A and B are shown apart, each in its own frame.
Chain A
Amino acid sequence: NAGVMQNPRHLVRRRGQEARLRCSPMKGHSHVYWYRQLPEEGLKFMVYLQKENIIDESGMPKERFSAEFPKEGPSILRIQQVVRGDSAAYFCASHHPTVQETQYFGPGTRLLVL
């Protein structure tokens, strides 16, 4: 049973470009969370999604950031017009619908904005 997959593992973008980060949850998991880890800091919650539904986006910046989890395919975290302050590690976690308390994390995508 493969774990949570994230790609790309490393992403370099210039200011103003778009960044798309993908997350494939563990098999059977229909709940996905995105977290951001700034350098030398802990993880901060961004958004919680179920298939085709955003449950909690209280941690998402109001502008430039969006997330989706379509019926088919991976969850996508999209950052438009990236700025240097977006440089961070972005982690995805998933959990089983009937085992809500335990989240399993992917390896993360490290975004560097030049």
Chain B
Amino acid sequence: GIQVEQSPPDLILQEGANSTLRCNFSDSVNNLQWFHQNPWGQLINLFYIPSGTKQNGRLSATTVATERYSLLYISSSQTTDSGVYFCAVLLSNDYKLSFGAGTTVTVRA
């Protein structure tokens, strides 16, 4: 099956810092989503981004499908950004999202 690798596994930031999370995948994909899992376990959709660049407030994401990677940028981080960030991909003609192991982000005040 497809391999989804996220880096770094852990990230500790000071409030106000910027950061970049990376997701590499081993095959062509039809869909790529970024999620933020809060401490209660809820997976919150951040981006649906099979290719190109999108921005939503302090967050932005870029997927380079031809090179099989995606980046999530967090700018001016806040303590509420803490949690686990997951990248998940969907292969063409497939039905299941394949998740990476996640990046645990801790933002300190």
A binds B: no
